[in-house]
Amino acid sequence: MRLVALALAMSVVPLPAVAALGGDEPTVQADQAQIRGTLRVSRTARFSVHEIQAPSGTAVREYVSPAGKVFGVAWQGPAMPDLRQVLGEHFDRYVELVRSRRTGRGPVSIEEPGLVVQSSGHMRAFVGKAYVPGLLPQGVAAEEIK
């Protein structure tokens, strides 16, 4: 009976929001807590970059528009980040596209109207980025996400 009550209680407790691709800026701190990393923010007139340095050495950068939306993410380091967390609502589409196009191992390159993902690397050296073209702020080029 206690187990049922505990499961019921846990189902109504909200999970922390994640500032994944397409998410809102205030939830970046939830990502920092999830990754257990340190956060550094740099701002320009066109966007801000929230870089979370994980204890593993992997850095995750979240690019936030002046409107407060995460329009791009990038990662680099010895371990892959949790792509479900980083890609957020776009993760299922990413998995679907990878499954339909890949025939083996190697770099991933997806270019769809609603999602672009580029990822490559090998053990201890992973890099990647993802962005939603429609969320890029005016005057920001996709090449700035790195």
Per the CB < 8 A criterion, the answer to whether 75 and 84 are in contact is no
Q: Is the pTM of this model over 0.85?
A: no
Give the Cα separation of 126 and 100 in Å (integer).
22
Report the b/e string of 32-54 with b at 16+ CB within 10 A.
bebbebeeeeeeeeebbbbbbbb
**pLDDT tens for the chain, residues 1 to 146:** 332 232 323 223 333 334 689 988 776 656 666 667 788 899 999 999 999 888 889 999 999 999 999 999 999 999 999 899 899 999 999 999 999 887 678 899 999 999 999 999 988 899 999 999 999 999 999 999 99
3-state secondary structure of 130: strand
| Position 28, amino acid | V
Could you tell me the residue ranges of all domains in the chain?
17-144
